[in-house]
Structure 1
Amino acid sequence: MSLGRVGLVAVLALPALGAAVLAVLPHRIDRAARITGTAFAAAAFVLSVLLALGGDDNWFGYRPRTAGGPGVRPWHELDLTWVPGLDLRFHLGVDGVSYPLVVLTALLTLLCCAYTAWRVPAPGRGRTLVALLLVVEVGIVGTFLALDLVLFFLFFEVVLLPMYAIIAIWGGEDRQHAARKFALYTLFGSVLLLVGVFTVVTAAGTADLVDLTGGGELSRGTQLAAFSLLAIAFAVKSPLWPLHSWLPDAHTQAPTVGSVILAGVLLKMGTYGLIRVAVGVAPEGARWAAPVLGTLAVAAIIVGSLVCLAQSELKRLIAYSSVGHMGFVLLGVATLTATGIQAALIGNIAHGVITGLLFFLAGAIKDRAHTGALAELGGLRESTPRLAGLLGFAAIASLGLPGLAGFWGEAFAVVAAWRVGGPFWTTLAVLAALGGALTAAYLLRLLRRVTHGPATPAVLTLTPGLAGAELAAWGPLVLLALAIGLAPTLVLGYAEVPVEALLEAIR
């Protein structure tokens, strides 16, 4: 087995092994168990980065293979017989579309595990929380690596139970309601995803995503039905308005690390699935539904921004901001153009980095002030200027300031819609641009309410310093937000070839 194939297996096996080790360690060594879990997450992150070191035939150079199949084959590919009687295969692969998401998932899991290792949300239970984070990593990374539809579905579902437990056990006062709502919406999407996968596999006679890209032998009617089922399933996870209402409750009640994983990478399972599976497998359905998807995406941008302008709770405001930001991602996908899909891919990564940072900061503020009410958090820069400065940086990055990561995805999603042309798409582009202005308005309002003005009683008692564990968790995200903003090729350079191949296959 080549080094690339070993890497594909190891990036899944290490967090799974780490979770298993933590499950058998005794409670009395909880701190050591948390550090052990963090070590497994660190090893998985290093391996995820090394996946970029070329194809199986050229380990030390970036050179995607182009032999066979529609478009570009993955850099590394593992294809083993899994269930011979049902012709199911354990088929994994990584390319420029999935690679940045795999690395982001591994990075955020590492940061969350490290944060938990030094700042325990519930004494004696940090070991279990780290183990659950590692299981979530297995499900999310597996979703990004799966090249078999049935395997994709199974990894997609692995995330449900551990994320439910993270919210229900370590969440806020209303955590049980939020966890149930998350589970119900997710199960609804899972049923539609299962039916969509069944429709495709039975009609095409194969579950191989490489062979299915471009529609394969699927009839137009089958593609329309399959895309409808798959798109709604992925819209729930993204989430797309009006299927978004589980997200604010889940974010508000989840512990800090739960919110970071939810916003940072779990939502990306939906947008990635829309690009890789729904558009790739049912391109005729995608073209047919593109106007509807574009309309809902712009509605998400406008509605999410307007709700944020009325929000009075910190984490809930950031949660609703994700609805708007993911609307830009989905608008890019709806254009079915190279510019739009590239905008969606970099928008995914930028949102994961910036909103992950915002939730880390929001959690730190709530832990210190014991409230998330904006009216009770004024004057943060007077007592904790470093924390206020980091919040200002994250908010400005989130509103899409040029030079920071948030700019590229939102700006070029609008450009892509404008370039499609015609009254309909031009109108969507204008409305999306208006939504971008509203995004700036609510984030500047957030800073005015929280960091400026006289310090409130809840803020006056805060200690000015930042813990080393906090700086270690936040620092990489600050650097990434700046690096991606200045050098978007860090993401787009990997994705250019596979995106062109995808578009060629679905024409």
Structure 2
Amino acid sequence: MSEMPLLSLAIWVPILAGLVVLTSGAERNASLARKFALIGAGIGFLVTIPLYTGFDVSTPTMQFVELMPWIPRFNINYHLGVDGISVLFIILNSFITFIVVVAGWKVINFRVAQYNAGFLIMSGFLNGIFASLDGMLFYVFFEASLIPLYLIIGVWGGPNRVYAAFKFFLFTLLGSLLFLIALIYLYFVSGNSFSILEWHQLPMALDAQKWVFLAFMVAFAVKVPMWPVHTWLPDAHVEAPTGGSIVLAAIALKLGAYGFLRFSLPIAPDASHEFSGLLIGLSLIAVVYIGLVALVQQDMKKLVAYSSIAHMGFVTLGFFMFSPLALEGAIVQMVSHGFVAGAMFFCIGVMYDRVHSRQIADYGGVVNTMPKFAAFFMLFAMANAGLPATSGFVGEFMVILASVKFNFWVAFTAASTMILGAAYTLWMYKRVVFGDVGNHHVAELSDISAREFFVLALLAVGALGMGVYPYPFTEVLHSSVNELLRHVAVSKIL
């Protein structure tokens, strides 16, 4: 174990960098603000790399643990640690933050310092969520992460940004209040402890587990989001600036799924089995129904937003089949979605910056004027449709393979995403990119700049690398996933 507080560095380096950007006078100098933000995001990513290189894949125990008292009166501690599940998301989050800072380099021209500081501070809060082993510390970071994203949508978003920001905030706040009630209940029944690891060993009657599970389920289902509490997401994506959409899709949607892994399954295992049918049913509705909804969208951002809901349905489906293959596939799908959905929203942002429209009908023949962009967009469209050798295929294939063993009809229904995903993604790509030049706006387009090429190339490396050679990702997961499923299989009924 490293003696350096790597997790604290992963949390506080981006937060302090954001504060430096805000307080150094950089708000009066956009160039300086961008440079400070890039340095902060770069260092924030670099300090997470030793978490992977120094990680022991042979053990499911928490690693890089940090523990010190925070509020001793209520036994609240600054307790950090990562296992094979959470370490991947910290690295992914720090990587995406770097991408977002580069992506907004020339696009954001007002309140540049505040914009970049918001992403840096949010990055630290998100890393805090993934690293927290104290329930109240988790909740503080969980709630704090809402504020920067709320401001990013509300200040730098589109014409209906205030409505979208309020809808996003109100949906997530309602779920968070139920989450807080469950945390307080667990605090008292555990003998005044907020330790998440102690809660994992807490024996509870089935009825108590059910109420705790339902409180968790509402909070996390809104975050995923699952059907029918998904309606805030398309509005938030459509109105958010490109950077906000990238972080929302790549990281923020993972918080709910991660909550199921860290809280719902290990704390209420018997209730998880009791409600697994409900969760599988809701997941299949998301895969099929939301996929059909995506087919009729005319706005590219809204189409990819609904696509995200369908892909996250695969994640929750994999969780509740209680199979190592399904659970690993679901987590791989979460990481892959970070690369692919983030890239899709960036591609749409590239076109919007030039044409100022997201309507599919306003394009056509983009390949004639932007051939390099069209090649990248094709790669990410194929990954979004689940093409083999891309990251989008790996997770979905693992979940479908596990669902065949679980139930043929569940597998059959889930596999429909391969058809629906290809249909709505390729339909959009065909109308936007192929054919004759649609109008004078498309005829005047210029191909991607060096900065945009750099961002797309980094995301392409992630999508292709994970698709061709997923072993570095799955290897980290094995021990932690097997331990979680072993724990869930043991009854905790009094």
| TM-score where L is the length of structure 2 | 0.96
17-26 or 451-460: bigger deviation: 451-460
Q: Distance in 1 between matches of 2:374 and 2:174?
A: 40
Identify if the C-alpha distance between structure 1 residues 362 and 458 changes in structure 2 by more than 3 Å, giving closer, same or farther: farther
Q: Distance in 1 between matches of 2:377 and 2:455?
A: 14
Is the Cα–Cα contact under 8 Å of residues 342 and 495 in structure 1 kept in the other structure? yes
Is the Cα–Cα contact under 8 Å of residues 226 and 282 in structure 1 kept in the other structure? yes
Q: Distance in 2 between matches of 1:106 and 1:381?
A: 32
Match of 1:69 in 2: none
C-alpha offsets along residues 13-69 of structure 1, whole Å, 9 cap, x if unaligned? Answer: 1011111111212232221122112111111101111112336xxxxxx3555xxxx
For 1:29, the aligned partner's letter is N
Match of 1:430 in 2: 412
Match of 1:15 in 2: 14
Is the Cα–Cα contact under 8 Å of residues 203 and 222 in structure 1 kept in the other structure? no
Match of 1:54 in 2: 54
- For the pair 1:111 / 2:99, whether they are aligned, the reply is yes
**Selected match of 2:199 from 212, 216, 228:** 212
Match of 1:101 in 2: 89
Is the Cα–Cα contact under 8 Å of residues 385 and 422 in structure 2 kept in the other structure? yes
For 1:41, the aligned partner's letter is A
SS at match of 1:139: helix
For 1:22, the aligned partner's letter is V
Q: Identity of aligned pairs, percent?
A: 32
Match of 1:498 in 2: 480
Identify if the C-alpha distance between structure 1 residues 4 and 329 changes in structure 2 by more than 3 Å, giving closer, same or farther: farther
Tell me how far 1:458 sits from its aligned partner: 5.0
Is the Cα–Cα contact under 8 Å of residues 57 and 84 in structure 2 kept in the other structure? no
Equivalent runs, 1:363-382 vs 2, <5 Å: 363-382=349-368
- For the pair 1:399 / 2:398, whether they are aligned, the reply is no
194-203 or 401-410: bigger deviation: 194-203
Match of 1:59 in 2: none
Equivalent runs, 1:320-331 vs 2, <5 Å: 320-331=306-317
SS at match of 2:182: helix
Is the Cα–Cα contact under 8 Å of residues 378 and 459 in structure 1 kept in the other structure? no
Q: Distance in 2 between matches of 1:240 and 1:325?
A: 10
C-alpha offsets along residues 348-381 of structure 1, whole Å, 9 cap, x if unaligned? Answer: 0000100000001000011111111101111111
Is the Cα–Cα contact under 8 Å of residues 388 and 451 in structure 1 kept in the other structure? yes
- For the pair 1:256 / 2:253, whether they are aligned, the reply is no
- For the pair 1:300 / 2:282, whether they are aligned, the reply is no
Match of 1:470 in 2: 452
**Selected match of 1:276 from 236, 248, 262:** 262
**Selected match of 2:347 from 342, 358, 361:** 361
Q: Distance in 1 between matches of 2:420 and 2:30?
A: 45
Match of 1:68 in 2: none
SS at match of 1:243: coil
Match of 2:208 in 1: 222
Q: Distance in 1 between matches of 2:8 and 2:181?
A: 28
Match of 2:425 in 1: 443
Q: Distance in 1 between matches of 2:475 and 2:440?
A: 46
SS at match of 1:365: helix
**Selected match of 2:251 from 265, 283, 291:** 265
Tell me how far 1:212 sits from its aligned partner: 2.2
Q: Distance in 1 between matches of 2:138 and 2:282?
A: 26
For 1:76, the aligned partner's letter is F
Where in structure 2 are there 5+ consecutive unaligned residues? Answer: 490-494
Tell me how far 1:491 sits from its aligned partner: 1.2
Q: Distance in 2 between matches of 1:480 and 1:394?
A: 11
Is the Cα–Cα contact under 8 Å of residues 115 and 473 in structure 1 kept in the other structure? yes
For 2:39, the aligned partner's letter is A
Match of 2:299 in 1: 313
Identify if the C-alpha distance between structure 1 residues 222 and 170 changes in structure 2 by more than 3 Å, giving closer, same or farther: same
Is the Cα–Cα contact under 8 Å of residues 81 and 89 in structure 1 kept in the other structure? yes
SS at match of 2:79: strand
Is the Cα–Cα contact under 8 Å of residues 120 and 126 in structure 1 kept in the other structure? no
**Selected match of 1:144 from 130, 146, 154:** 130
SS at match of 2:70: strand
For 1:370, the aligned partner's letter is H
Q: Distance in 2 between matches of 1:458 and 1:17?
A: 46
Equivalent runs, 1:47-86 vs 2, <5 Å: 47-54=47-54, 62=56, 65=59, 72-86=60-74
Is the Cα–Cα contact under 8 Å of residues 150 and 207 in structure 1 kept in the other structure? yes
Where in structure 1 are there 5+ consecutive unaligned residues? Answer: 56-61, 66-71
Match of 1:231 in 2: 217
Is the Cα–Cα contact under 8 Å of residues 179 and 215 in structure 2 kept in the other structure? yes
Match of 2:461 in 1: 479
Tell me how far 1:291 sits from its aligned partner: 0.5
Tell me how far 1:5 sits from its aligned partner: 4.8
Is the Cα–Cα contact under 8 Å of residues 339 and 413 in structure 1 kept in the other structure? yes
275-284 or 410-419: bigger deviation: 410-419
Q: Distance in 2 between matches of 1:428 and 1:232?
A: 23
Q: Distance in 2 between matches of 1:343 and 1:477?
A: 20
Is the Cα–Cα contact under 8 Å of residues 126 and 145 in structure 2 kept in the other structure? yes
C-alpha offsets along residues 55-100 of structure 1, whole Å, 9 cap, x if unaligned? Answer: 6xxxxxx3555xxxxxx32121111111111111111001210111
Tell me how far 1:459 sits from its aligned partner: 4.2
**Selected match of 1:340 from 316, 323, 326:** 326
Tell me how far 1:414 sits from its aligned partner: 1.7
Q: Distance in 2 between matches of 1:301 and 1:345?
A: 17
Q: Distance in 2 between matches of 1:201 and 1:419?
A: 38
For 1:40, the aligned partner's letter is G
C-alpha offsets along residues 179-220 of structure 1, whole Å, 9 cap, x if unaligned? Answer: 11111111111112111212222222322122222x522222
461-470 or 142-151: bigger deviation: 461-470
Match of 1:3 in 2: 2
Q: Distance in 1 between matches of 2:24 and 2:475?
A: 43
| TM-score where L is the length of structure 1 | 0.93
**Selected match of 1:92 from 77, 80, 83:** 80
Is the Cα–Cα contact under 8 Å of residues 98 and 145 in structure 1 kept in the other structure? yes
C-alpha offsets along residues 451-473 of structure 1, whole Å, 9 cap, x if unaligned? Answer: 11221115434333211221222
SS at match of 1:82: strand
